[in-house]
DNA sequence: CGCGTTCCAGTTTTT
DNA sequence: CTGGAACGCG
């Protein structure tokens, strides 16, 4: 078996996983241990060596990106089409099930998917109609509540409602669900929940899929929530008395579980070993990414967590460089230091795209951007608004949804007066009331109210004109190609004209995006989409838009530094990584310190960040940082103290020249002249000083000059104090 | 109905 | 401090 081509170039553990007999498997795959490789090779092994049909394999991931990569690599390896195989995200596969069995789950054939933004708007309307105190109940919280319940597999009737809060949320959940059902709308959590209920309650359907999928492989299992776990269990047939019991392979890393806050259950990994018989556990601990120094530091940090399944990364590679630690005196200094280091890296002939700047929260990117801009270093930020999430694109999609399904209230609300066509708030109110009383969709109510003369005059005419517009658009574009259909809809609806009439750069991009949408439709190849054989091109495209909100714009081919949150860095790797703002209160975040268990997750996030680095890791923190417009004093994160000293190299504060010359550009430093005067006093910003009574500290700021000049010192034990230089008798140290 | 002003909240993100 | 949303006016 060692000579098999699929096992070549794999280490012993990887081979054990890939070449294992048919069995349940838990692959604990550390960061950079070749996890995807093992998954892909395992699938190839099942097909080529164990002679399984691709038809009997299902592979599940969390992101479309991961799913696409997996399919591509399997095809490359197997050398044939994997069309028969189900590879996709949990949501994608659930969607596929619901499309195939829409009748069994009580959905209309042309049901549509609500994204998170749609869901929130919908809730806002529901809550208005329930006359809830808007100060007290926010759609956001309601959304959070409902999704959390759905993730747990709970319907409104499962909630006891003892507690007043929960009673109200239950009422909202109930009304929301009724509205969704009436409109044929399904939110993300509903996709999973309904697919689960389908499998649970429909024996024929369940057994059909249980017979079909002999092997289930699930990636990133530490990120599964309760309903996803239940879903896998149902499909596997585990614990049931049926004759088919399928084989499940889960791959994951408990140390990289960073989505607990959105319902991921790290315990699912452990639970798996209890719920499934004879699970073979394989640990992949050999790392092919980072230096020994980085791994040793990461191992030390994560060792501070309890209840780990246990794993220690190692590498055959060398120690590499130490981890640089830069203690900035404020966030501007930190950004400037990072920019200068990136510049140095670039000047040594390295690529900018090999550098990542990682931070805990998005707000931190701004100062970094400014510094990069100033240093003329091109950069790219991950995690912006995606294509299908843009306002103008969503407007256009709403028209299309309405063409497909008139009862789609969310879509109708969005475009009935976009562009404005004389249907104001008052008219809409009447229509909403009418719909509520009659228990119908907004579309039907609007039509009836206008013909029945409940609505009169201008309002009635406007409503009827809208109804005609949609009807006529459908008739006209019925047999058009998707691209031409969308083009016509955008133009005839007046959407294009509306955005063209607006001025400014923003409006121009919007027009461009609408044109791009037509392109996207032209390029949308139904044949490529194995999932949705039964879908009309239009519905296929709409589902695609909702489930894959669009690639990050790959437009920038320019070599540029990558900026992203620690969360979005998961799964990526870079030769040079900067972890910025590693301060108590920021990372770990303040909120995580208040709640039990959250600190451990922050530490895992730190572990994820550190293990992104291949050659060199730089950690920085700022003693003083502006947060929400207020200066806050921060100390180094506890995570820094958890790194062995021998792996760290404390970088000395840079020379002062930079501050004085660049200060005006940042706008928040003292003038060059006053700075010079300050330097004559013999102190520098960021310098360590000792006071007879207060102990040691760092110079943060100063004001004035000469005899009156005062200096701000952040003392290690006492915090920050302003001292008059002439009297304080500070010593440099 | 559109525009200007005030007010308020404010981790992490995918589907 | 900032951006988004709500509110009030013409």
Is A36 annotated to bind ligand? yes
> How far apart, in whole angstroms, are the C-alpha atoms of residue A559 and residue A342?
13
Find the nucleotide nearest A627 (Cα to C1′). C1
Q: What is the pLDDT of residue A134?
A: 80
Q: Which of residues 127-156 of A touch strand C (CB under 7 A)?
A: 134
Judged against a pLDDT cut of 70, whether residue A271 lies above it is answered with yes
| DSSP code, position A236 | H
**A135: annotated active-site residue:** no
- Which of the four pLDDT bands, split at 50, 70 and 90, describes residue A551? low
CATH superfamily entry for domain A388-548: PCRA; domain 4 (1.10.486.10)
Residue A643 has pLDDT above 80, yes or no: yes
Please tell me whether any atom of strand C lies within 7 Å of the Cβ of A504. no
- High-pLDDT (> 90) share of chain A, %: 68
pLDDT of residue A478: 87
- How far apart CA A124 and CA A134 sit, in angstroms, is 9
pLDDT higher at A57 or A660: A57
A270 vs A246: CA distance, rounded Å: 19
Which of A93-107, A127-141, A461-475, A712-726 is least confident? A712-726
Is A36 marked active-site?
yes
**pLDDT confidence of residue A730:** 84
Please name the residue whose C-alpha is nearest to the C1' of nucleotide C6.
A134
Kindly report the bases of strand C lying within 7 A of a protein C-beta atom: 1-2, 6-7
A30 is in an annotated binding site: yes
CA distance A290 to A317: 8
Yes or no: domain A5-103+192-286 corresponds to CATH 3.90.400.10: no
- Answer whether residue A670 shows pLDDT above 60: no
What does the pLDDT average to over A131-140? Answer: 86
Range in A76-90, A267-281, A597-611 the model is least confident about: A76-90
Model pLDDT, residue A532: 53
Which nucleotide lies nearest residue A385, CA to C1'? B13
Return the minimum-mean-pLDDT range out of A150-159, A239-248, A520-529, A666-675.
A666-675
The response to whether A34 counts as a known ligand-binding position is yes
Q: What pLDDT score does A656 carry?
A: 41
pLDDT at A556: 59
pLDDT bin (cut points 50, 70, 90) of residue A679 is: low
Q: What is the edge-to-edge ordering of all strands in the sheet holding A719-724?
A: A719-724, A710-715, A695-703, A688-691, A731-732
Q: A672 or A496, which is more confident?
A: A496
Gyration radius of chain A over CA positions: 29
CATH fold of A302-385+558-650, please?
Rossmann fold (3.40.50)
Mean pLDDT of A244-266: 93
Encode burial over A98-125: b for 16+ CB neighbours within 10 A, e otherwise: bbbbbebbebbebbbbbbeebbeebbbb
pLDDT, residue A185, reads 96
Q: Is the pLDDT of residue A28 over 50?
A: yes
What is the CA A139 to C1' B7 distance in angstroms? Answer: 18
Q: What are phi and psi of A343, to 5 degrees?
A: -60, -45
A124 touches strand C (CB under 7 A): yes
Give the residue extent of every domain in chain A: 5-103+192-286, 113-183, 302-385+558-650, 388-548, 672-732
| Residue A219 annotated among the catalytic residues of the structure | yes
Give the other-Cβ count within 10 Å of A527's Cβ: 6
Label the pairing between strands A719-724 and A112-114. unpaired
pLDDT of A678:
65
Best mean pLDDT range from A504-508, A548-552, A599-603, A684-688: A599-603
pLDDT, averaged across chain A: 89
pLDDT in tens, A201-212: 999 999 999 999
CA–C1' distance A133–B7 (Å)? Answer: 17
Tell whether the model's pLDDT for residue A654 goes beyond 90.
no
What is the arithmetic mean of pLDDT over A159-182?
A: 90
Residue A611: the pLDDT is: 97
pLDDT score at A526: 59
pLDDT tens per residue across span A103-126: 999 999 999 999 999 999 999 999
Please check the confidence at residue A677 and state whether its pLDDT lies above 50.
yes
**Architecture field, domain A113-183:** Orthogonal Bundle (1.10)
C-alpha span between A229 and A237 (Å, rounded): 12
Cβ density class A268-295: b for 16+ within 10 Å, e for less: bbeebbebbeebeebbbbbbebbbbbbb
A82, A168, A222, A256: the active-site residue: A256
Q: Do domains A5-103+192-286 and A388-548 have the same CATH topology?
A: no
pLDDT higher than threshold 90 for residue A630: no
pLDDT at A315 over 70: yes
Name, of A368-382, A532-546, A604-618, A657-671, the range with top average pLDDT.
Answer: A604-618
* Lowest mean pLDDT across A21-25, A229-233, A558-562, A662-666: A662-666
As a whole number, mean pLDDT of residues A381-407 equals: 91
Answer yes or no: is pLDDT of A2 > 60. no
To which residue do tokens 């609806």 refer? A493
- What is the average pLDDT across A616-642? 93
Per-residue pLDDT, A688 = 85
Pairing of strands A574-579, A719-724: unpaired
Quickly give A50 CA vs B9 C1' distance in Å: 57
Q: How confident is the model at residue A676 (pLDDT cuts 50, 70, 90)?
A: low
Predicted confidence at residue A422, as pLDDT, reads 85
**Residue A668 banded pLDDT, cuts 50, 70, 90:** very low
Q: A291 pLDDT exceeds 90?
A: yes
pLDDT value of residue A721: 79
User: Which pLDDT belongs to residue A163?
Assistant: 83
* pLDDT band with cut points at 50, 70 and 90 for residue A661: very low
- Percent of chain A exceeding pLDDT 70 equals 92
> What span, in angstroms and rounded, lies between the C-alpha atoms of A721 and A713?
5
Candidate list A75, A151, A220, A623, residue with the active-site label: A220
| Comparison of pLDDT for A711 and A481, the residue scoring more | A481
Residue nearest B11, CA–C1′ metric: A361
Q: What is the pLDDT of residue A672?
A: 47
Q: Which residues touch strand B (CB under 7 A)?
A: A 62-65, 89, 91-92, 115-116, 140, 188-189, 261-262, 360-363, 383, 417, 420, 422-425, 547-549, 564-565, 567-568, 589, 591-592, 598, 602, 628-629
Preceding peptide of A588 cis, ω within 30°: yes
Answer for the pair A399, A473: CB distance below 8 angstroms, yes or no.
yes
Please name the CATH architecture into which domain A672-732 falls: Roll (2.30)
């Amino acid at each position: 078996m060692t000579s098999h081509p699929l096992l070549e170039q794999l280490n012993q553990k990887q081979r054990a996983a890939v070449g294992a007999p048919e069995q349940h498997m838990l692959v604990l795959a550390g960061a950079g241990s070749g996890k995807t490789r093992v998954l892909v090779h395992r699938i190839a092994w099942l097909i080529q060596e164990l002679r399984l049909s691709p038809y009997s394999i299902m592979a599940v991931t969390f992101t479309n990106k991961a799913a696409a990569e997996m399919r591509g690599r399997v095809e490359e390896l197997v050398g044939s089409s994997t069309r028969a195989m189900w590879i996709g995200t949990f949501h994608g596969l659930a969607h596929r099930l619901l499309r195939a069995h829409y009748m069994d789950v009580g959905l209309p054939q042309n049901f549509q998917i609500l994204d998170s933004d749609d869901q929130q708007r919908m809730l806002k309307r529901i809550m208005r109609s329930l006359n809830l105190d808007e100060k007290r109940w926010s759609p956001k919280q309601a959304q959070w509540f409902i999704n959390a319940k759905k993730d747990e597999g709970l319907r409104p009737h499962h909630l006891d409602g003892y507690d007043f809060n929960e009673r109200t949320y239950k009422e909202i959940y109930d009304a929301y669900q009724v509205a969704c059902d009436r409109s044929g709308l399904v939110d993300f959590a509903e996709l999973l929940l309904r697919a689960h209920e389908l499998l649970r309650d429909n024996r024929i359907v369940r057994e059909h899929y249980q017979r079909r999928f002999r092997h289930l492989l699930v990636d990133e299992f530490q990120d599964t929530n309760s309903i996803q776990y239940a879903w896998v269990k149902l499909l596997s047939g585990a614990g049931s008395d049926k004759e088919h019991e399928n084989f499940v392979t889960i791959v994951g890393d408990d140390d990289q579980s960073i989505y607990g806050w959105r319902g991921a259950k790290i315990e699912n990994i452990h639970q798996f070993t209890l719920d499934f018989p004879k699970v073979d556990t394989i640990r992949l601990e050999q790392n092919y990414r980072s230096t020994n120094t980085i791994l040793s530091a990461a191992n030390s940090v994560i060792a501070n967590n309890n209840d780990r399944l246990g794993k220690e990364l190692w590498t055959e590679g060398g120690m590499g460089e130490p981890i640089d630690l830069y203690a900035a005196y404020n966030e501007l200094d930190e950004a400037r230091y990072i920019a200068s280091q990136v510049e140095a890296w670039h000047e040594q002939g390295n690529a900018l795209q090999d550098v990542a700047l990682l931070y805990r929260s998005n707000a931190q990117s701004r100062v970094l951007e400014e510094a990069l801009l100033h240093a003329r270093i091109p950069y790219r930020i991950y995690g912006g608004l995606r294509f299908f999430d843009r306002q103008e694109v969503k407007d256009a999609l709403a028209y299309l949804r309405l063409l497909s399904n008139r009862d789609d209230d969310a879509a109708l609300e969005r475009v009935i007066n976009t562009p404005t066509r004389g249907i104001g708030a008052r008219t809409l109110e009447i229509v909403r009331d009418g719909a509520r009383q009659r228990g119908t969709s907004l579309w039907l109510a609007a039509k009836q109210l206008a013909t029945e003369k409940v609505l009169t005059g201008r309002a009635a005419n406007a409503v009827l004109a809208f109804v005609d517009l949609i009807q006529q658009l459908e008739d006209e574009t019925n047999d058009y190609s998707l691209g031409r259909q969308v083009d016509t809809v955008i133009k005839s609806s007046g959407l294009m004209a509306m955005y063209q009439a607006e001025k400014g750069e923003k409006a121009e991009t919007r027009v461009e995006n609408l044109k791009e949408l037509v392109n996207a439709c032209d390029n949308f190849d139904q044949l490529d989409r194995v999932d949705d054989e039964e879908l009309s091109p239009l519905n296929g495209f709409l589902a695609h838009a909702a489930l894959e909100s669009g690639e990050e714009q790959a437009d920038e081919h320019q070599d540029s530094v990558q900026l992203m949150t620690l969360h979005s860095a998961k799964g990526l790797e870079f030769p040079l990584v900067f972890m910025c703002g590693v301060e108590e209160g920021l990372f770990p975040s303040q909120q995580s310190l208040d709640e039990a268990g959250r600190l451990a997750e922050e530490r895992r996030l730190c572990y994820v960040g550190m293990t992104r680095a291949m050659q060199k890791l730089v950690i920085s923190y700022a003693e003083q940082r502006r947060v929400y417009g207020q200066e806050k004093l921060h100390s180094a994160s506890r995570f820094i103290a958890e790194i062995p000293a021998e792996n760290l190299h404390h970088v000395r504060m840079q020379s002062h020249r930079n501050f004085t010359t660049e200060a005006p550009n940042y706008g928040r430093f003292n003038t060059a002249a006053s700075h010079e005067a300050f330097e004559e006093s013999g102190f520098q910003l960021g310098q360590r000083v000792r006071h007879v009574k207060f102990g040691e500290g760092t110079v943060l700021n100063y004001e004035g000059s000469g005899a009156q000049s005062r200096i701000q010192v952040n003392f290690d034990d006492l915090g920050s104090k302003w001292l008059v230089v002439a009297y304080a008798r500070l010593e440099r140290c």
